[in-house]
């Protein structure tokens, strides 16, 4: 398995040494998620590829893997993380304001294989918080639009309030670069929402897909994968044309501690991005 892992320039000294990073801005995405604009104190670019993650640390609160939500083709030296508050580290992150400093290790992990995506029609499918890593790939495709075939973005959120990156979604929906459809599981009258209501999988049957030209990328909560893959198979997409990004509990992030194993694979290093035919036979992978 080819791994395209990249290290930021300073990370070569020690994979375990956090780099100092400045918080440039914090904005709210949903009641439970915030977007952080960050820059390494050294001013060096992070050097991430779409699909990679960083290990974020705050003194006294710990460390956690977070996907980079912005493309390396944008914001020279600036990168973005979309973070859901779930526990100690993410709660501490949600208290950060512009000017604060945090630690960053990485970028780590196997990114989306941009060579295998090139010249293909792309189905970029995400659910919930999965739009954060997918956004990096969408931005990359937008900035290198001529390298790809037709691009369709599908996104599903639990509710209107839980919908991430609303401004980006509105831009993508009106863009001539993409087809973009989104849905929410449930909507209330008070949401003033006139979009689609239903599960993410309901967006797949109406699509016209040419399976031999198409690759589908999926990122989302674990429950989503099986049902989305089932719909894609009905459209004729085999496992060698489906790429998924998986989440596992992680500690080191660099293939040393064994916390993130999927049988013989390390999710942090062999993934988090896997072709479906590499993992579908592994117990507990999906
Ligand atoms: C490769 C990767 C990329 C990720 N990208 C993002 C991202 O872009 N944005 C984001 O908000 N979160 C992301 N996560 C999840 C994030 O790492 C966890 O939510 C984080 O570890 C929580 O840290 P905490 O200290 O706040 O919570 P903790 O106090 O450590 O945990 C709170 C709860 O979340 C559970 N939990 C922690 N980590 C995970 C995990 N990996 N999978 C399932 N449950 C978990 C714990 O069991 C506990 O129940 C990513 C995880 C991985 C592995
Ligand atoms: S997190 Fe340590 S081996 Fe993957």
Query: What's the pLDDT tens digit per position in 24-72?
Result: 999 999 999 999 999 999 999 999 999 999 999 999 999 999 999 999 9
Q: State the ligand closest to the CA atom of 255.
A: 2
235 and 199 in a common domain? yes
Q: Which atom of ligand 2 is nearest to the CA of 65?
A: 1
Measure 66 CA to ligand 1 centroid, in angstroms: 8
The 10 Å Cβ neighbour count of residue 194 is 7
Confidence category of residue 192, pLDDT binned at 50, 70, 90: confident
Residues 93, 75: Cα–Cα separation, whole Å: 21
Domain ends where: 54, 76, 108? 108
153 and 60 in a common domain? no
Q: Which atom of ligand 1 is nearest to the CA of 84?
A: 11
Confidence category of residue 194, pLDDT binned at 50, 70, 90: confident
- What was the pLDDT predicted at 52? 98
The model's pTM is: 0.93
Measure 250 CA to ligand 1 centroid, in angstroms: 9
The 10 Å Cβ neighbour count of residue 208 is 7
**189 or 73: which carries more pLDDT confidence?**
73
Query: What is the pairing mode between strands 265-266 and 261-262?
Result: antiparallel
Task: Give kind and range of the element (H or E) at residue 184.
Answer: strand 179-184
81 and 43 in a common domain? yes
Measure 149 CA to ligand 1 centroid, in angstroms: 34
Give me Rg for the CA atoms of the chain.
Answer: 18
User: Over 90: is that where the pLDDT of 191 sits?
Assistant: no
231 and 125 in a common domain? yes
149 and 208 in a common domain? yes
Question: Is residue 207, in this structure, part of any structural domain at all?
Answer: yes
Mean pLDDT calculated for residue range 223-248? 96
For residue 109 and ligand 2, the question of a CB distance below 6 A is answered with no
The 10 Å Cβ neighbour count of residue 29 is 21
Residues 253, 203: Cα–Cα separation, whole Å: 34
Sequence-separated (6 or more) residues with CB below 8 Å from residue 269 = 3, 5, 108, 109, 110, 254, 255
Give the largest Cα separation in the chain, rounded: 55
Q: State the ligand closest to the CA atom of 271.
A: 1
Give CA angle at 68 (110, 166), nearest 5°.
130
Question: Is residue 85, in this structure, part of any structural domain at all?
Answer: yes
For residue 64 and ligand 2, the question of a CB distance below 6 A is answered with no
84 and 69 in a common domain? yes
99 and 17 in a common domain? yes
Measure 241 CA to ligand 1 centroid, in angstroms: 28
3-state secondary structure of 185: coil
CATH number at residue 217: 3.40.50.80
Question: Is residue 283, in this structure, part of any structural domain at all?
Answer: no
For residue 58 and ligand 2, the question of a CB distance below 6 A is answered with no
- What was the pLDDT predicted at 203? 97
145 and 221 in a common domain? yes
Identify the residues whose C-beta falls under 6 Å from ligand 1: 53, 62, 64-67, 82-84, 86-90, 129, 132, 247-250, 272
Give how far the C-alpha of residue 245 lies from the chain's centroid of Cα atoms, to the nearest Å.
7
Which two tokens mark 100? 């604060």
43 and 160 in a common domain? no
- What are the two backbone dihedrals, phi and then psi, of residue 26, each rounded to the nearest 5 degrees? -130, 130
pLDDT digits (tens, 9 = 90+) for 63-104: 999 999 999 999 789 999 999 999 999 999 999 999 999 999
Which two tokens mark 282? 């592994």
Confidence category of residue 233, pLDDT binned at 50, 70, 90: very high
Q: State the ligand closest to the CA atom of 269.
A: 2
Look up the domain containing 104 and give its range: 9-108
- What was the pLDDT predicted at 284? 85
Percentage of residues in the chain having pLDDT higher than 70 = 95
Cis peptide before 272 (omega within 30 of 0): yes
Question: Is residue 137, in this structure, part of any structural domain at all?
Answer: yes
Report the number of distinct structural domains present in the chain.
2
Question: Is residue 4, in this structure, part of any structural domain at all?
Answer: no
Residue 217, burial from CB neighbour count under 10 angstroms (0-12, 13-18, 19+): buried
Q: Which atom of ligand 2 is nearest to the CA of 251?
A: 1
For residue 257 and ligand 2, the question of a CB distance below 6 A is answered with yes
The 8-class DSSP code of residue 18 comes to P
Q: Which atom of ligand 2 is nearest to the CA of 268?
A: 4
Confidence category of residue 14, pLDDT binned at 50, 70, 90: confident
210 and 233 in a common domain? yes
């Amino acid at each position: 398995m080819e791994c395209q892992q990249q290290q930021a320039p300073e990370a070569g000294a020690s994979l375990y040494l956090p780099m100092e990073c400045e918080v440039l801005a914090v904005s709210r995405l949903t009641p439970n998620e915030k977007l952080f604009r960050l820059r390494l104190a050294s001013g060096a670019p992070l050097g991430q590829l779409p699909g990679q993650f960083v290990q974020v640390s705050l003194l006294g609160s710990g460390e956690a893997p977070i996907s980079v939500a912005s493309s390396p083709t944008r914001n020279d030296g600036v990168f973005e993380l979309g973070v859901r508050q779930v526990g100690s580290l993410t709660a501490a992150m949600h208290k950060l304001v512009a000017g604060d400093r945090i630690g960053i290790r990485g970028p780590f992990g196997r990114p989306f294989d941009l060579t295998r995506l090139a010249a293909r029609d792309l189905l970029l499918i995400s659910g919930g918080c999965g739009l954060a890593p997918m956004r990096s790939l969408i931005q990359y495709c937008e900035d290198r639009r001529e390298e790809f075939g037709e691009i369709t973005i599908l996104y599903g959120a639990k509710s209107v309030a839980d919908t991430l990156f609303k401004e980006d979604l509105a831009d993508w929906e009106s863009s001539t670069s993409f087809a973009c459809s989104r849905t929410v599981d449930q909507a209330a009258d008070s949401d003033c929402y006139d979009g689609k209501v239903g599960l993410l999988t309901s967006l797949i049957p109406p699509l016209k897909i040419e399976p031999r030209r198409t690759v589908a990328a999926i990122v989302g909560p674990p429950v989503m994968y099986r049902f989305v893959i089932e719909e894609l198979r009905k459209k004729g997409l085999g496992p060698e044309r489906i790429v998924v990004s998986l989440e596992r509990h992680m500690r080191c992030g660099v293939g040393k501690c064994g916390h993130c194993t999927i049988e013989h694979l390390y999710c942090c290093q062999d993934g988090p991005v896997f072709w479906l035919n590499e993992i579908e036979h592994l117990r507990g992978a999906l």
